[in-house]
Amino acid sequence: MGCASEIAQEALRGNFRCACGDLYEVTYPGWSGAGHTRPNPSALRWLWRERRMSGEAADRSGVWRFREMLPILKDERSIVSLGEGNTPLFELPRSADRLGMTLLRAKHQGMNPTGSFKDAGMTAALSVAKERRFAWVACASTGNTSASMAAYAARAGMRSLVLLPEGRIAWGKLAQAMDYGALVLQLKTDFDGCVRVLAGVVERAPVCLLNSVNPYRIEGQKTPALEIAEQMEWEVPDHLIVPGGNLANSSALGKGFLEMKRLGLTARVPRISVIQAEGANPLVRAMRETGGERLEPVEAQTRASAIRIGNPASWRKAVQVIRETGGFVEQVSEAEIAVAKAEIGAEGIGCEPASAVTLAGLKKLRQQGKMTAEESVVLLLTGHTLKDSDYTIQFHRGDLLTEPESAPVAAELGTLCRNTVEMEARVDDVLRELERAGR
Ligand SMILES: Cc1ncc(COP(=O)(O)O)c(C=O)c1O
Ligand SMILES: [Zn+2]
């Protein structure tokens, strides 16, 4: 990504970085030109749909049924799958109404085996690690990567090392890593500090690094783009909105849509916009202050702990995707995130706080006149609501936001907050509450 040098797969170093310090991206030489090695779009669409009926786990996986788009394994027997992908594309009619939009949908990547979008990338990178006969895999994580990696490592009979920022991840995610048998180390630092320590560890120990600097993660993580296109009969939405943390997901989805267009699977690409929390906004700053030429790390602060990342590894890839697709970047406040999360919950869908920045960001883009009522929009929801129940309960109890934070959204809070009611175990009392709630 930094100096445009190309290497063969075997020459990739353990830190997945080029001598210039930047990241690699997987490219497939057979796809250029019109030669016989170039996949045939109609045949592929048919094959991918047929595979969903197959009895083979690899065929049913929402990642590996598209394996012609990620030919990264030498032997398909290396595949480690938990039945990832094939996630729902939900309509959000109430939010669409409020925003005066015709069609708003949510691709819910939280409906994956470990409850987050990370599974799509993890099955790819972990299968490569297994094929290369690594005994150990490792990651630094804001929570979801560790839960996903630990699960896939356990399935493969491999060991996993997890570095977490102490006290700053949601309990649900920590519980998952523990349950899947990872060696979990909570370091007295933030996510960016964990990344730095892990870089030193992979230099000296034979562990395979599974953070998203590992380009095979991106190959798996691009497959939701294929699913969205398939779910829309090979049309694409006008606009896809993605949360931004380490910026791998936006990069991966961009790669997926751009490759589909290049191969003739789709006629165009959606705008891809990235939304960050105000307190963890290095990309927003980079775009506003330098047009995406340079990125200054920030000290990240947000209750959406999954995107509390100040020095995103994949920022160059994300900038390229935003430029190539004509997308926007925007930032949203803590209160805007909390309200948007409750609104998604009220649609019967739910998501974790970091995912809700998409709806909060969409509202801003609409206000700024950056999209019309007729544009079809897909929000990419990244994590399941059960990942961070503490956040949700605090929100509904009114304990989440400070007074200055809640003031601008007081009206929304009034209709969305649903605290529990404690009462005597009497029929009359329950009936009284029922009546009050129905008024
Ligand atoms: C739930 C959730 N949403 C969004 C993100 C951000 O994705 P990315 O780091 O690829 O930008 C993460 C992880 O970092 C996450 O766990
Ligand atoms: Zn380089």
CATH classification at residue 386: 3.40.50.1100
* pLDDT tens string 268-282: 999 999 999 999 999
Residue 257 maps to a domain:
yes
Beta bridge partners of 103: 376
Q: Is the CB of 121 under 6 A from ligand 1?
A: no
- Give the neighbor-by-neighbor strand order of the sheet with 103-108: 89-91, 103-108, 376-381, 239-243, 271-277, 329-332
Q: CA–CA distance from 275 to each of 113, 158, 279 (Å)? A: 25, 35, 12
Nearest CA to ligand 1 atom 12: 306
Q: Which pLDDT belongs to residue 271?
A: 98
Residue range 73-87: mean pLDDT, rounded = 97
Q: Which residues contact 218 (CB under 8 A, 6 or more apart)?
A: 25, 26, 121, 212, 248, 251, 252, 255, 314, 317
Q: Is the CB of 282 under 6 A from ligand 1?
A: no
* pLDDT tens string 146-184: 999 999 999 999 999 999 998 878 999 999 999 999 999
Residue among 278, 249, 268 at smallest CA distance from 364:
278
Q: How many helices (H) and strands (E) does the chain have?
A: 18, 10
- For ligand 2, the distance from its centroid to the CA atom of residue 297, given in whole angstroms, is 20
* pLDDT tens string 218-257: 999 999 999 999 999 999 999 999 999 999 999 999 999 9
Residue 203 maps to a domain:
no
Q: Is the CB of 110 under 6 A from ligand 1?
A: no
* pLDDT tens string 280-299: 999 999 999 999 999 999 99
Residue 169 maps to a domain:
no
Q: CA–CA distance from 91 to each of 48, 236, 355, 376 (Å)? A: 24, 15, 16, 11
Residue 16 has pLDDT above 70, yes or no: yes
- Highest mean pLDDT, choosing among 5-9, 63-67, 418-422: 63-67
Nearest-Å Rg of the Cα atoms of the chain is: 22
Q: Is the CB of 355 under 6 A from ligand 1?
A: yes
- Any idea which of 6-15, 67-76, 115-124 has the lowest mean pLDDT? 6-15
Q: Which amino acid appears at position 128 of this protein?
A: V
Q: Is the CB of 246 under 6 A from ligand 1?
A: yes
Give the number of whichever ligand sits closest to the CA of residue 18.
2
pLDDT bracket for residue 29 (50, 70, 90): confident
Q: CA–CA distance from 288 to each of 97, 220, 285, 361, 367 (Å)? A: 31, 30, 5, 16, 19
CA distance 168 to 304: 10
Residue range 36-41: mean pLDDT, rounded = 78
- For ligand 2, the distance from its centroid to the CA atom of residue 1, given in whole angstroms, is 6
Beta bridge partners of 161: 138, 183
Q: Is the CB of 247 under 6 A from ligand 1?
A: yes
Testing ligand 1's pocket by substitution, the residue of 148, 382, 386, 392 carrying the most ligand atoms inside 8 A of its CB is 382
Residue range 25-51: mean pLDDT, rounded = 86
Residue 30 maps to a domain:
no
pLDDT bracket for residue 34 (50, 70, 90): low
Total count of domains within the chain: 1
Q: Do the beta carbons of residue 60 and residue 51 sit within 8 Å?
A: yes
Query: Locate tokens 């029929």: which residue?
Result: 427
Q: Is residue 234 helix, strand or coil?
A: coil
Residue 430 has pLDDT above 80, yes or no: yes
* pLDDT tens string 393-419: 999 999 999 999 999 999 999 999 999
**Phi then psi for 91, rounded to 5 degrees?**
-85, 145
Q: Is the CB of 382 under 6 A from ligand 1?
A: yes
Q: Do the beta carbons of residue 325 and residue 257 sit within 8 Å?
A: yes
Residue 380 maps to a domain:
yes
Q: Which pLDDT belongs to residue 130?
A: 98
Residue 351 maps to a domain:
yes
Q: Which pLDDT belongs to residue 35?
A: 63
Per-residue burial over 307-319, b if 16 or more Cβ lie within 10 Å, else e, is bbbbbbbbbbbbb
Query: Locate tokens 């959606």: which residue?
Result: 270
Six-digit token pair at 303?
């209750």
Residue 36 has pLDDT above 70, yes or no: no
Residue 269 maps to a domain:
yes
End-to-end C-alpha distance for the chain, whole angstroms = 59
Q: Do the beta carbons of residue 116 and residue 110 sit within 8 Å?
A: yes
Q: Is residue 66 helix, strand or coil?
A: helix
- The overall average pLDDT reported for the chain is 96
Q: Which residues contact 339 (CB under 8 A, 6 or more apart)?
A: 360, 409, 412, 413, 416
Query: Locate tokens 């919950």: which residue?
Result: 345
Q: Is the CB of 119 under 6 A from ligand 1?
A: no
CA distance 76 to 84: 16
Beta bridge partners of 139: 162
Residue 207 maps to a domain:
no
Q: Which amino acid appears at position 266 of this protein?
A: T
Domain of 96, in residue numbers: 89-115+218-416
Residue range 186-213: mean pLDDT, rounded = 95
Beta bridge partners of 382: none
Q: CA–CA distance from 63 to each of 51, 303, 402 (Å)? A: 11, 31, 42
Asked whether the whole model's pTM tops 0.85, one would answer yes
Give the number of whichever ligand sits closest to the CA of residue 224.
1
